[in-house]
């Protein structure tokens, strides 16, 4: 099974875990569905929105839990 890291490209994350779009939007990171496409890594997208390394670590952990339960 794939594992999500902070270095995953957003488009790869969405392909791997479509529910990540909703999760990212709930965290304040706009994504493909709302018309504000973002590219680059999960880390770069989060940092653009002002999140720190601890926040990003939490996102990675929560996204991996979602992936395990998908």
pTM (2 decimals)? 0.86
**What is the pLDDT at residue 30?**
72
**What is the pLDDT at residue 32?**
58
Annotate the chain with DSSP letters as a single string: -----TTSBHHHHHHH-TTHHHHHHHTT---GGGT----SBHHHHHHHTT--HHHHHHHHHHHHHHHHH-
How is the chain split into domains, by residue range? Answer: 10-69
**What is the pLDDT at residue 25?**
87
What CA–CA distances, in Å, run from 68 to 49, 50, 53?
Answer: 26, 27, 23
- The pLDDT averaged over each successive group of 10 residues in the chain (70 residues) is 89 92 87 63 92 97 96
**What is the pLDDT at residue 36?**
57
Token reading at 26: 């709930």
């Amino acid at each position: 099974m794939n594992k999500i890291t902070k270095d995953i490209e957003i488009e790869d994350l969405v392909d791997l875990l479509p529910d990540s779009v909703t999760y990212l939007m709930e965290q304040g990171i706009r994504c493909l569905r709302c018309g504000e496409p973002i590219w680059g890594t999960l880390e770069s997208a989060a940092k653009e929105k002002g999140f720190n390394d601890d926040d990003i670590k939490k996102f990675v952990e929560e996204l991996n839990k979602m992936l395990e339960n998908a």
